[in-house]
Amino acid sequence: MSAFNAIGEEREIDRDEFTPEIEPQATWCPGCGDFGVLKALKQAMPEVGRTPEETLLVTGIGCSGKLSSYFQSYGFHSIHGRSLPVARAAKMANPDLEVIAAGGDGDGYGIGGNHFMHTARENHDMTYIVFDNEIFGLTKGQTSPTSPKGHKSKTQPHGSAKQPIRPLSLALTSGASYVARTAAVNPNQAKEILTEAMEHDGFAHVDFLTQCPTWNKDAKQYVPYIDVQDSDDYDFDITDRGEASEMMQEAEDALYEGEVLTGRFYHDEDRPSYQQEKQATGDMPEEPLAERYFDDDYEWERSYDLLDRHK
Amino acid sequence: MTDDELIWRIAGGSGDGIDSTSQNFAKALMRSGLNVFTHRHYPSRIRGGHTYVEIRAKDEPVKSRGDNYNFLLALGDSFARNPQDEAYYGNEEIKPLSENLDELREGGVIVYDSGLLDASEIENFDERVEENDWHVYDLDLRGLAKEHGREVMRNTAGVGATAALLDMDLEHIEGLMSDAMSGDVLEANLEILEEAYESVNEDYEHTHDIRVPTGTQDEEQVLVSGSHGIAYGSLDEGCRFISGYPMTPWTDVFTIMTQHLPDMGGISEQVEDEIAAASLAIGASHAGAKAMSGSSGGGFALMSEPLGLAEITETPIVLVEAMRAGPSTGMPTKPEQGDLEHVLYTSQGDSNRVVFAPGDPAECYEQTRKAFEIAYEYQIPAIVLYDQKLSGGHQTVPEEVFDEEPNPDIGSVVTEQDLEDAVQEAGRFKRYMYDDEEGSGLGGVSRRSIPGQKGGNFLASGNEHNEVGHISEDADNRTIQMNRRMGKLDAIRDELAENADHQPVYGPEDAEYGILSFGSTKGVIEEAVDRLNDDGHSVKAMNVSDIMPFPKDEVTQFLEDVDESLVVEMNASAQFRRHVQGQLGRFGEKLYSLLKYDGNPFEPEEVVSGFESRLGGDADLSQYNVRIESATGD
């Protein structure tokens, strides 16, 4: 059956296929870190081997949400903080799709924090990219959940009294089975991590450090990065929750002291994805639900056959 | 008030098995060929607290709970005796008896459990019994149950006593018990049933007139609630994805769907909140499944944002809204029709959605099917609006109502050939195409592709977008896209009007007066109309089920034909009347509202008195919690 004929198509895939015929400069400022995410994602797609038509990119709102406008695939530009619930249902309806969700730090860790926690807990097989620039960009520079304590903005003129969110630790404790951090100024690592995240069979969370040259000139997104896998100073087992957790704590503390540690922090290849768990309990069909609507021979059950209990 | 009917009320504490016992008893009455209507009254509390279920059984069709009732089975609230915290539980021991006396008809029967209830604690009990010619049977149901099984089986003893007092055959009750249980439990229950039956026959002289009516229905009937109607309608439309968060009374639909979906190869998801629930339905629908979600007032408020998203991205979804009394948490287990405007206008910008308000379980089934059809054909969110009364209240419905073929069509979707042609002609597929000549088709609908279809990729954006889905703030594009989306409602209005049974009128065609209503008040008004016409009035009624798009022609015709019309609804601010006036822009001088918002559904007598008070005489409304209000403007 070929209900979705683009799915599973085997051919050479070129990163340019993911470029639509529009100008990305339309809303992103010159020097914006978001360009780095877009580029890394386009570079990763041929590595993963998925075509634009079998890929669904769901985004939230804000500068980061525009990613779906500049990336050619099936796209869904949803609402602030809600990319994950839209994305995970699409994945459940058709698990054969490559599903990617993306949004900013306000979108993902603020307004969408609840969805982040629960999607990670369920371990849906998808990739979640959070553009982390420690600021609300599109609404013109307000303090975000990842802004450092003391950060001054128009809405926090005396400096924020709040500790920033710790995204890596939060992802891990919530249940994400792949957690990494990369940065727009580090394109090779970013491409590798996104590739690995997409290939991972479970919820892959990528905290993607992006610089905001317009509203957050002071952020450490400009300082040199250390890749925890490449550095001899850091030795930990990324499959061990405890060690990964300690390493994340260190990275999260260090970030606000000016040392940026990136790389893979946790990778659990054994944990079944939500889809597998749900299929194991008999709560989800083996075949993609969506295909059934294109199958003329499928025998649809009727409610009439359920009426015995009401007689 | 006639006694060719039995209205049996079983009262006790929440958690004492009142609901399951009443379900079985209602089925037994249905199996003896009667029509049945049930009404649940329960507190927002898990265990203890006064609760009752009323079952009205009649040979004629039953459309409402009726007026008052004529048979009380008062069981006692076992949780009222909870010794752990007297201050909290208070003295509620006699409530199952005392709380129900006001509504018991003259000549009615009282069976109470003397093992738990003490009638002497009730003020003026004997005087009231005498005044009202009540027939009282005190039985130690608890003792009997304890002797043969467990205390909780006193429900069964009560049913046995009921059967004896009403001259019922035990056959159907025994059959239902055998279906539901087995082994020692069944044995004990059957023993208790029979012993109660026999001891009542032996020990008591039957002084009352009430008997169970003779049932003559030979048509196959099923006993279902409005929630069953909605769930079964969804399943028959091929809905195989539901996402939700529990909230009373929406949970009824959610749990019924969840019971069946896994076995039918579908997916049910309980998620973190209602924003997620509606968003999941959108995601599943976008990926090609037929999907639904829903909630009640407060939860639906959270769905406001995704609802707007479904509108602008033109993603078909069906949402269910089961109304309960508000504002805010209001009265969780009590019905009201106060969310009408919430459902009509919530979300950002100009509203653009379809709203159906079925009036009984059969309509719940039919209109949910219609909601899916319209939602998927026109790529627009459709809402099925009903309330707590219809959600949990059961009614006998002819089985043939459900004997319909499934319709798994996902509506206006492109084929692979379409996509090939589109790519060849225009270079790419235009998801939000607005040139009718190029095939955008019916009423502003441009066909959609499903992720995975080759050549069909597009961006569904919650921002205003151009034909291919890219964000656009171009003024001309904006106007065209808005017109195209808003125009769907006119096309849907036309399509709905083609149905011969569209917005039927009940009562004599040339009636002098009208009664307008929507949703669950349908049956009670039909009964009131019959009664009013029997009493020499000239009245007809229209229960409007298409709330948006509004059937302007039909309602205009109805109101032009009558001198004046009552608008009956269960809320305090006359939302439906305002909607009618707003949609039609006239008739203010003809409309009078009859409003009730005390947490209980209308009884026919209240509608009759409301009508007589305003339009046909000077009935006294002071004994009812209802209010008459005239419309403003013209």
CA A263 to chain B, closest CA, distance in angstroms equals 30
CA–CA min distance A159, chain B (Å): 31
pLDDT at B314 over 50: yes
Interface contact flag, A22 B470, Cβ < 8 Å: yes
The structure tokens listed for B433 are 């195409």
The reply to whether residue B451 touches residue A53, judged by beta carbons under 8 angstroms, is yes
- What value does the mean pLDDT take over residues B254-258? 98
Quickly state the pLDDT bin for A221 (edges 50, 70, 90): low
Q: Is the pLDDT of residue A222 over 70?
A: no
What end-to-end distance do the CA atoms of chain B give, in Å?
Answer: 38
Cα-Cα-Cα-Cα dihedral sign, residues A238, A241, A246, A249: positive
| Among candidates B306, B406, B453 on the partner chain, residue whose Cβ is nearest the Cβ of A79 | B306
Chain segment B197-211, per-residue pLDDT in tens: 999 999 999 999 999
Q: Which residues of B touch A291 (CB under 8 A)?
A: 288
The DSSP H or E segment spanning A247 is: helix A241-255
Of A268-272, A298-302, B124-128, B214-218, minimum mean pLDDT range: B214-218
Give whichever of A179-188, B70-79, B277-286 has the largest mean pLDDT.
B277-286
In which band, very low, low, confident or very high, does the pLDDT at B1 lie, cut at 50, 70 and 90?
Answer: very low
3-class secondary-structure state, position B295: strand
Please enumerate in sequence order all residues whose Cβ is within 8 A of that of B329, keeping only pairs 6 or more positions apart, or say none.
B298
Q: CA-nearest residue of chain A to B427? A: A21
Per-residue pLDDT at B169 exceeds 70: yes
* Residue B457 near residue A73 (C-beta atoms within 8 A): yes
pLDDT score of B442? 60
Instruction: Judge if ipTM > 0.90.
Output: yes
Confidence check: pLDDT of B60 > 90: yes
Q: Is the pLDDT of residue B275 over 50?
A: yes
* Among A11, A50, A72, A82, the residue to mutate for chain B (most B Cβ within 10 A): A82
DSSP state of B118: -
For chain B, what is the mean pLDDT? 93
Say yes or no to pLDDT of B249 above 70: yes
User: What percent of chain B clears pLDDT 90, i.e. is strictly above it?
Assistant: 83
Model confidence at B86: pLDDT above 70: no
Interchain CB contact of A78 with B (< 8 Å): yes
User: Do B265 and A94 count as a contact with CB atoms less than 8 A apart?
Assistant: no
Reduced to 3 states, what is the DSSP secondary structure of residue A131? strand
Contact of A11 with chain B, judged by CB distance below 8 Å, is answered with no
Q: Is the pLDDT of residue B44 over 90?
A: no
Q: How far is A65 from chain B (nearest CA, A)?
A: 10
**Tokens of residue B393, six digits:** 């209240």
Return the closest-CA partner of residue B248 out of B267, B229, B227: B227
Calpha distance A33→A185 (Å, rounded) = 7
Residues 257-276 of chain A whose Cβ lies under 8 A from any Cβ of chain B: none
Q: Taking phi first (over 0 means left), then psi (-120 to 50 degrees means alpha), and beta for anything else, what does residue B76 get?
A: left
Mean predicted confidence (pLDDT) in B139-161: 93
Helix ranges (DSSP H) in B166-242 = 171-180, 183-203, 226-236
- Please write the tens of the pLDDT for every residue from B416-461: 888 998 888 888 899 998 865 444 556 689 999 999 999 999 999 9
- Looking up tokens 């600021």, which residue turns up? A135
Q: Give the Cα separation of B278 and A53 in Å (integer).
A: 25
The residue-averaged pLDDT of B584-599 equals: 95
Give the number of A-B residue pairs with CB atoms closer than 8 Å.
221
> With contacts defined as CB-CB under 8 Å, which chain B residues touch A117?
272
Q: Which residue has the tokens 């209830």?
A: B117
* Token pair listed for B125: 């009990």
pLDDT tens sequence across A92-125: 999 999 999 999 999 999 999 999 999 999 999 9
A1 pLDDT exceeds 50? Answer: no
C-alpha separations of B279 from A62, B322, B354, B397, B515 in Å: 18, 19, 18, 34, 39
Mean pLDDT for the stretch of residues B485-494: 93
CA A195 and chain centroid, separation: 12
What are the φ/ψ torsions at residue B243 (nearest 5 degrees)? Answer: -130, 140
Express each pLDDT in B505-530 by its tens digit.
999 999 999 999 999 999 999 999 99
Closest chain A residue by Cα to residue B411: A293
In this predicted model, what pLDDT tens digit does every residue of B615-627 receive, in sequence order? 766 788 999 999 9
CA distances in angstroms from B31 to A245, B22, B59, B72, B396, listed in the order given: 64, 14, 12, 21, 10
Cα distance between residue B486 and residue B79, in whole Å: 55
Contact B402 A7 (CB under 8 A): no
- What is the structure's pLDDT at B544? 98
State yes or no: pLDDT of A71 exceeds 90: yes
CB contact under 8 A, B222 and A2: no
Query: How distant is the Cα of A42 from the closest Cα of chain B, in angstroms?
Result: 16
Residue B117, both tokens: 């209830």
**Cβ contacts of A116 on chain B, cutoff 8 Å:** none
To test the contact with chain B by mutation, choose from A294, A304, A305 the residue with the greatest count of B C-beta atoms within 10 A, namely A304
